[in-house]
Amino acid sequence: MTLESLCRCDPPDIPVEVIMVINGSDNDTAQVREANQHSLHTVTSWVEKHTHCFFTVRTRFHPDLPHRQAGVGLARRLGMDEACNRLLSANETTPGIIVALDADCQVAPNYWTALVDHFRQNPKIVGASLSFQHPLDDLTFNHRQGIIHYELFLRLYRQGLRYAGSPHAYHTVGSAMAVRADAYRRVGGMNQRKAGEDFYFLQKVMAHGMFSDLTTTTVFPSARMSLRVPFGTGRAMTQWHQEQPQHFLTYDPKVYADLRHFFQAVGKTSRIRDGHIPDASPCLEAFLAKQRFNGALAEIAANTASAESFMKRFFLWFNPFKILKFVHFASDAWYPRVPVGQAARTLLQWMGTPVDQPLDGDETLLHVFQRLDRNSG
């Protein structure tokens, strides 16, 4: 249980509160309502029996949220809004930290102390992406293969963006993210999306200040199957089991090569004429024309006085959402998706990444990419 895992952690030297949101909608089935009531009873009983724990648990039960909005985004917003209000009303000199975690996760023993140390040692950061790793033990062979491929898919995307030179190359996993309370308020809080809420939230946070990797602790998300949201771990695992594909597909690394060429050209604006990128692929040219890059480039140049401010403003325009739009545009019309293991090997070769063992299996590849993520923090 998540609360047990949190309670076993080393206590930090500042007060901690855990806000547990149990959410449901006004059109839930009787079975779902019963499950939520059971969750409420379980949490209440746990709190009564664990008065020795160093943190306070505040349980918030919302069984009848409007079904059009009810979902993971609204649940996160309810909990994070309350956390923000409580932290900012405390009138502390340093804004408190809001950390998101899902109720089926486990955490490393230094979870709390690593969070406090990271934000204390980096006073200018507004948020952080925490290291994560899906547990592989006690899974069936097929389930294990599915989560290996899915996590490799996530890490390959992140490392692909790093290879391209994007300053937004961070994981956006909702159960492994943290933000300062004042920054949370500045970006308007969490959105109410039923999926992808973490991605859209963190791209706003990244635009409001320095963001970082927190690699000194680890969150262990569940590899569960679920159809609660349109995409994500649960949906990917369910589809893997139902469809049993021969390969788990991901984006062709050519998309990252195109982005790398684009970002390098923008960094040398003297090479760009009328919005044309020298030696750009037809795919990149088609996307930039669709995005009216020439006009955006002129607007950016007119409002910046240095190369540094130019690039900062450029990446506010070509933000994580626009990057993802390009990746989908390229994958749908130009570069068909490829097996995740094949893409991982190609990217490692391009990056010139040394490996200390033969890449004879996708689990080995996953370990290599986990190491790359840890070392980039």
Q: Is the pLDDT of residue 115 over 80?
A: yes
Where are the strands (E) in the chain, listed by range? Answer: 17-25, 56-65, 97-100, 106-107, 125-132, 177-180, 210-220, 249-250, 338-339
Q: Could you tell me the pLDDT band of residue 268, with boundaries at 50, 70 and 90?
A: confident
More confident residue, 92 or 294: 294
DSSP character string of 121-154: H-TTEEEEEEEE----TT--HHHHHHHHHHHHHH
Predicted pLDDT of residue 279: 86
| CA distance to 9, 126, 137, 220, 255, per residue, from 217 (Å) | 11, 18, 19, 10, 31
Predicted pLDDT of residue 91: 76
Which residues, other chains included, contact 237 with Cβ-Cβ below 8 Å and sequence gap of 6+?
143, 146, 147, 150, 223, 224, 225, 226
As a whole-number percent, the residues of the chain with pLDDT over 90 amount to 70
Predicted pLDDT of residue 248: 82
For the record, the structure tokens of 232 come out as: 């994500």
Predicted pLDDT of residue 361: 77
Rounded distance between C-alpha atoms, residue 296 and residue 276, angstroms: 12
Q: Is the pLDDT of residue 159 over 90?
A: yes
pLDDT in tens, 198-245: 999 999 999 989 999 999 999 999 876 554 555 556 555 566 555 666
Rounded distance between C-alpha atoms, residue 250 and residue 181, angstroms: 35
pLDDT in tens, 3-40: 999 999 999 999 999 999 999 999 989 998 999 999 99
Predicted pLDDT of residue 203: 94
- How many residues are given for the chain? 377
Are the C-beta atoms of residues 96 and 19 closer than 8 Å to each other? no
More confident residue, 49 or 95: 49
Predicted pLDDT of residue 255: 98
More confident residue, 290 or 143: 290
Q: Is the pLDDT of residue 92 over 90?
A: no
3-state secondary structure (DSSP) of residue 57:
strand
Predicted pLDDT of residue 240: 52
**Residue-range domains of the chain with CATH:** 2-250 (3.90.550.10), 254-333 (no CATH)
pTM: 0.91
Rounded distance between C-alpha atoms, residue 280 and residue 293, angstroms: 13
